[in-house]
């Protein structure tokens, strides 16, 4: 299982590489996002509020999903499958 002498070392290296590549892309995106916030700020928008907006819009979706889940739970509880 964990004999990382032999070909497993190559596999391990491969996984590490793939993850690091993806993480780098992610870091770039995060930097982009930050930049956008910076721009907005430079134009006078309140970043804190802006973040709240983003969060709320995300939540609205989640909330909808969640509501559906609750509904579903109750349906099941009532045998309405």
Partner DNA sequence: CTGCCATTTTACCGGC
Partner DNA sequence: GCCGGTAAAATGGCAG
List of residues contacting DNA (CB under 7 A): 23, 26, 30, 34, 37-38, 41-42, 47-48, 51-52, 54-55, 66
3-state secondary structure of 33: helix
Q: Is residue 60 a contact point for a second copy (CB under 8 A)?
A: no
Q: Choose from a second copy, DNA, none: what does 42 bind? Cβ within 5-8 Å by kind.
A: DNA
Torsion over CA: 34, 35, 36, 41 (sign): positive
Q: Choose from DNA, a second copy, none: what does 4 bind? Cβ within 5-8 Å by kind.
A: a second copy
């Amino acid at each position: 299982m964990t004999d990382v002498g032999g070909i497993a070392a190559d596999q391990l290296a491969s996984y590490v590489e793939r993850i690091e590549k993806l993480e780098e892309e992610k870091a770039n995106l995060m930097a982009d996002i930050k930049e956008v916030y910076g721009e907005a700020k430079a134009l006078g928008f309140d970043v804190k509020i802006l973040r709240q907006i983003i969060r709320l819009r995300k939540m609205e979706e989640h909330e909808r999903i969640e509501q559906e889940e609750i509904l579903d739970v109750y349906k099941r509880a009532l045998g309405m499958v």
